[in-house]
Amino acid sequence: MDQETYNQQVSARADQVVRHQAGKSGGGLWDVNAHLATGMDDAEVVEIVRQSLSDQTDGWGGRPAGGPFHVYPCGALIARWPDRLPEEALEIIRDFMMDGVLERGNTENHWLMFYVGNLLAAERWPDEQCMWNGLSAEANRAEATRWILGMIDRTAVNGHHEYDSPQYHVEHMVPMVTLADHAADPHLRHQVEQVLSLYVADMALEYYYGAWAGGHCREGYRENTWRKSGAISALQYLYFGDEEFEPKHHVHGFCIPPATAAYRPPALFAEMAVDRSRPHVVKKTKAPRTIYRRVEHEAQPVRKYTYMSPSYALGSSQLGLPGPGSGPIDLISWDLTWRGENQQAKICCNHPYRSPERFSAFLVGYPQQIRRQIGSDKPYLQWPDRLFGASPYERMMQHEGTVIVLYKIPADDEAPFINMFLPRTIAWVERDGWIMGDTGNGAYVALYPVGPYEWTEIREEGSMRHLAANPDQIDGWLLRIPDVHGGLILEAREAVDEDSFEAFCTRRADSRPDLSGWPGSDRVAVETMAGNQLEMYYDGVHGVDGTAIDYDAYPLYEAPGVDAPMGTGRMSFSRGDQEVRLDFGVDPSKPLIPIRVIG
């Protein structure tokens, strides 16, 4: 597909999204972009802006108050609609940016939204000597530019920090889209356009029928059993199409600004996203997790491996965590997904790590009470049935459609067990320790729990929270493995490669994993149905057919048509006669801006 045709397709979908959102009354600072695009009355626009920025600090001398989710959309409005935004609305925004008490937040997406909004305000009112923080517009512009350019360089060299998040990737993409269209500095615009290509590549390489396959740094809000989680579905639809328009998934307030933007990604990424003609491996390297205390070592880079097969996608991660104390709360290390109904097309497992050190490792509150502090706002982070979040005791390896996941949990751990989620609608077969199922969509799956398991269920009613509404937050089978030395071996296969499901079951059950070295020698081995020998030592070598996997050799990206070595800031993506070459011009002799936020 040529770029012009692709652009037209994106524009058509954008129009669909904007018209849908404009048809709804009210909304907030993000949604008002749709109203401005479709001719809302000025008075209504003013009222939305006024209401959205009505928070004030308490008491005498109160000032307008807001954080990244206000600052960015304010910047986006004044940049995108300079001739359309009513003067009264512009003044409200000006008051907010000049006299407000603004928060920067503490995650990478928070900071990006904050700095983009602050930059655009500084460019809109460049002669201001005293913005909201007592500094001049020039000082604010310079600080924001340094951080944004530094973040881009860091992403190009070390990999994205807040990586591959079905929720928060949107909050990276969308501010960058606004900058690509409106930043005054041509160099900044160029760098932003380049990093946007990386962000879209991240989405495309693991796109699977509206889902984002594999590991994610943050898949919060207990949605990791959902087939489509987070706001990313709206951006996937906008840039990749691939599905019939479904507002529930494809319209999200956070994605209205890009639907009214001029920016269009390179067309080849959409083709990469929807090409499922051949199974292939995607490898990625991502930046180390921010773990700043209660551990003895530095975190190491994250290495992702995702097997994209026509009828399923299986992804896993080497997390590089520095041991007990470190357990990022939203992290999803692995999962298997296929086409299917919500809650019926995912398999995952985890250890619901609950140490007192867990929050202290990356949050600044006193270790003596941060657990209660965070748990008060998000009690589900402490629940024993939790299915997401990292554990320092989890290790895994993967080769194509087979993954081995092992745990060595201390006997005195608060959660001396493993949780595994299985869909309800599959007619599961149990034979010789293997649990096997036909997904009904072209893939068979077999899993072998390491350790005894108890078959129970997990159900939780959905809440009408603002990010999404779902009648069933979680609904499926829960296999609990009450063994501190538990684990899982899982193999997925294309049904077309087997004679029948029965033949698949027979063949898989004929060969048991070799657990003779587990846990005593830390070794588990299994022969895949394709004939590969997988051998995993818990804290040692991971091997395939006798060859050790060299995770340190992972490039920034590896996939068909992708050449992206680590540490260079240069990469290329090609497909047919299309090619995207990126060169961030990073000077290797200069230090990268440090990551000083979580994510």
Judged by beta carbon, residue 133 or residue 568, the one nearer other proteins is 133
Query: In sequence order, what E strands does 351-450 have?
Result: 394-399, 402-407, 418-422, 429-431, 434-438, 443-450
Q: Which of 263, 92, 153 is nearest to 593 (CA)?
A: 153
Distance CA 489, CA 569 (A): 37
* Contact indicator for 463, 450 with CB cutoff of 8 Å: no
Nearest to other proteins of 3, 54 (CB atom): 54
Per the listing, tokens 């530094």 go with 150
- Nearer to other proteins (CB atom), residue 185 or residue 472: 185
Contacts 24+ apart (CB under 8 A), 128-133: 128/98, 130/98, 131/97, 131/98, 132/96, 132/97, 132/98, 132/99, 132/100, 132/101, 132/102, 133/102
Cβ closest to other proteins, residue 9 vs residue 191: 191
DSSP class of 216 = B
Closest approach of Cβ 294 to other proteins, in Å? 7
Q: Which is nearer to other proteins, 375 or 442 (CB)?
A: 375
Q: Would you state the structure tokens that stand for residue 14, as one six-digit string?
A: 């954008």
Min. distance of Cβ 67 from other proteins in angstroms?
10
Cα 12 versus chain centre, distance: 26
Residue 189: CB minimum distance to other proteins, A: 20
DSSP conformation letters of 279-319: -EEEEEEEPPP---SSSSS----EEEEEEEETTEEEEEEE-
Q: How far is the CB of 584 from other proteins (least distance, A)?
A: 19
Nearest distance in Å: CB 46, other proteins:
23
Considering the complex, state which of residue 531 and residue 594 has its C-beta at the smaller distance from other proteins.
594
Residue 99 CB, nearest distance to other proteins (Å)? 7
Which positions touch other proteins (CB under 8 A)? 57-63, 65, 99, 101, 103-106, 110-111, 115, 129-130, 132-136, 138-139, 142-144, 146-147, 150, 291-298, 322, 364-369, 593-594, 596-597
Other C-beta atoms closer than 10 Å to the C-beta of 516 total 10
Question: What is the distance between the alpha carbons of residues 490 and 435, in angstroms, rounded to a whole number?
Answer: 9
- Among residues 467 and 593, whose Cβ is nearest to other proteins? 593
Which lies closer to other proteins via its Cβ, residue 488 or residue 595? 595
User: C-beta of 213: minimal distance to other proteins in Å?
Assistant: 32
Rounded Cα distance between 193 and 199, Å, is 10
Question: What is d(CA 151, CA 593) in angstroms, rounded to the nearest whole number?
Answer: 7
What are the φ and ψ backbone dihedral angles of 246, each rounded to 5 degrees? Answer: -135, 100
Least distance to other proteins, CB of residue 404, Å: 29
